[in-house]
Structure 1
Amino acid sequence: MMETGKQFYGIIPPVPTILFKEGKLDRKGMGNLIDYLIESNVNGLFFLGSGGEFSQMSAELRKEVAEFATSYVNGRVPVLIGTGTPGTNETIALSLHAKKVGADGVVIVNPYYFKLTEESIFQHYCEIAENVDLPILFYNYPELTGVDLSPELVLSLAERYPNIVGIKDTVVSVGHTREMITTVKSKFPDFMVFSGYDDHLLNNLALGGAGSIPLTSTFAPELSVGIYQAFKQGNYGKAIELHQKLASIIRVYKLDSPFMNVVKAAIHLKGVDISTECLAPVRSATNAQIEELKKILFETTEVKYGFNYSNKEDLND
């Protein structure tokens, strides 16, 4: 009997993997970030997503991160582990490992590199669902995978496998997420649709979605968490106010590509004691990028990011 009962909702940050320069896991820094996020009232944590640099990692490092994360969180919030790979067998192996170390669910991006047919993607997820006794969320990111998971495909898989429980829909078009919600949730009301892009959160909630898995929530959780809490309390004015700030702060993503280096720098500026090293080919943020980052953070939030906001001259320190 497949496990299906776990419910995920709200704001679930995709946690960056904190590493030393040589690519080894910085356990102390990772713990500092986990504690900070849990204390910020997030509703869960997602490890080894795109912002967690899974695509640059060996299977051994992915397993080490999964084991450390689930152990350190220790049941304080639900833990999701990203286990997607281009191959079905390796994805199953990583998913079974995630279950072994205590994850509450897995998030599986569709195979990348080859552009599979919809039938091949269907069979890929069928084989995973039949072999992995954990709640499964899809990760739809067509901008990087080259293939979109259609609402009809997701519905057909949810109809067949009760352990397929949700999706992170990282798509530019809010209409895609709307169709995902109306198509799948009309038949499975408990199916969880999360927005991947940060500024889609409010729209997601208004349509009946589950929340968001936004990378900005790793360094500005007060924005996404605040939107979610205000919406649930019916304080829509506050939700809109915070949404406008969130829509502005996502300018940090334009500072580099990929942008996990500036995100780690933002977390460090927030005052969380972490290493900001990244796995090659990603490089650490430059001084110029950090200066631009400081300006964006100063303009979009009243929270102090590791320097004195009362004096704009300090932005250049």
Structure 2
Amino acid sequence: MSLDSLKGIIPPVSTILKENGEFDKTGMGVFIERLVASDVNGLLFLGSAGEFSQLSNPVRKEIAEFCVKSVAGRKPVIIGTGACGTAEVIDLSLHAASIGADAVIVVNPYYQPMDDERLYNHYRTIAEASTLPVIIYNFPALTGQDLSPQLIKRLALDCPNIVGIKDTVDCISHIRDLIIHVKGARPDFKVICGYDEYLFMTLAMGGDGAIPGTSNFAPEITCGIYKAFQENDLETIKELAPRLATLAQLYSLDVPFSWLLKEAIRSTGSDIPTGVAAPATAPSEDVKKRFHEILKQAGF
């Protein structure tokens, strides 16, 4: 995968599970074909929406192998290899390389906070061990620790193999600082937003795209905004942005929101089960009702 292909709209693909929590290869295959046929620019497996944190490493490897084989080179594939320990991340990353993935994405260690020097050493060790490009994943709402633009700039300048960041921070100024200070110092470094509704602002400031959960079931909206931005088509952006803002409400309906994404995938045309990895469960009937109201408001 060329570094230049790491941009645009890359869905954090839901992991399709049976109601008992087992990996469903049939449903996953159906869903992968739907995404490959869409306008998305790549596929990210085993990210937050893929429920990596609730899956054992043998299961993560099984899923990664199936997904890379199923995509079969038709789109770039990124595998989430984040874990709390450096050695575990390296093991998962080397496995991703061995099965033909194009890049890995690594969230910072969660539970145990680390100072910047330890975080720097963690990522540098991973980058030097990995034969694949490494994307940093910053999601302080879940990890409990923000990765500062200063730390990211140091890693970007010292580690050529660290090629970009998914910044899932509910503050547009954080993305702005990454674009100005990190991308300004290393122009090929990719800055990609994690929150769907920040897509347009990220692009407008000079960023590279988004890894938005809604692109699992509504890629026409985020891909439409991305294409319209490239073509200076403001009217299309004005049409699609309100629909995206409506869909973004799904994330606050339930914690975690993994079932909602799968139900959205099912409701918009894919015959898949909506099982989730324990301890997650399906939401209450009230949440399900509100969920379908939001889908309807967004035009689905």
Could you tell me the TM-score, scaled by structure 2's length?
A: 0.97
CA distance in 1, matches of 2:298, 2:251: 14
1:128-147 alignment to 2 at 5 Å? 128-147=126-145
User: Is contact 1:168-1:194 (8 Å) kept?
Assistant: yes
Task: In structure 2, give the amino acid aligned to 1:30.
Answer: M
User: Is contact 1:167-1:192 (8 Å) kept?
Assistant: yes
User: Is contact 1:6-1:135 (8 Å) kept?
Assistant: no
Task: In structure 2, give the amino acid aligned to 1:221.
Answer: P
Q: CA deviation at 1:5?
A: 4.5
Could you tell me the TM-score, scaled by structure 1's length?
A: 0.92
Larger radius of gyration: 1
Q: CA deviation at 1:249?
A: 1.2
Deviations along 1:40-88, whole A, 9 cap, x unmatched? 2100000001110000010001001110110000011000000000000
CA distance in 1, matches of 2:236, 2:17: 36
Q: Does 1:176 align with 2:187?
A: no
1:139-178 alignment to 2 at 5 Å? 139-178=137-176
Pair 1:94–1:39, CA change in 2 (3 A): same
1:31-180 alignment to 2 at 5 Å? 31-180=29-178
Deviations along 1:76-125, whole A, 9 cap, x unmatched? 10000000000000000000000001110000000000011111100101
Pair 1:5–1:220, CA change in 2 (3 A): closer
Deviations along 1:111-140, whole A, 9 cap, x unmatched? 000011111100101110111011100000
Task: In structure 2, give the amino acid aligned to 1:100.
Answer: S
CA distance in 1, matches of 2:272, 2:178: 37
**Residue 149 of structure 1 aligns to a residue in which SS?**
coil
Q: Does 1:202 align with 2:200?
A: yes
Pair 1:5–1:203, CA change in 2 (3 A): closer
CA distance in 1, matches of 2:21, 2:261: 17
1:238-317 alignment to 2 at 5 Å? 238-301=236-299, 303=300
User: Is contact 1:262-1:289 (8 Å) kept?
Assistant: no
Question: What is the RMSD computed on CA atoms of the aligned residues?
Answer: 1.3
**Residue 81 of structure 1 aligns to a residue in which SS?**
strand
Task: In structure 2, give the amino acid aligned to 1:138.
Answer: I
1:186 is matched with: 184
CA distance in 2, matches of 1:6, 1:220: 24
**Residue 229 of structure 1 aligns to a residue in which SS?**
helix
1:227-238 alignment to 2 at 5 Å? 227-238=225-236
**Residue 185 of structure 2 aligns to a residue in which SS?**
coil
Instruction: Give 5+ residue unaligned stretches, structure 2.
Output: none
Overall identity of the aligned pairs, in %: 49
Q: CA deviation at 1:7?
A: 3.0
Task: Identify which range, 17-26 or 264-273, moves more after superposition.
Answer: 17-26
Task: In structure 1, give the amino acid aligned to 2:38.
Answer: S
Aligned residues: 300
Pair 1:257–1:197, CA change in 2 (3 A): same
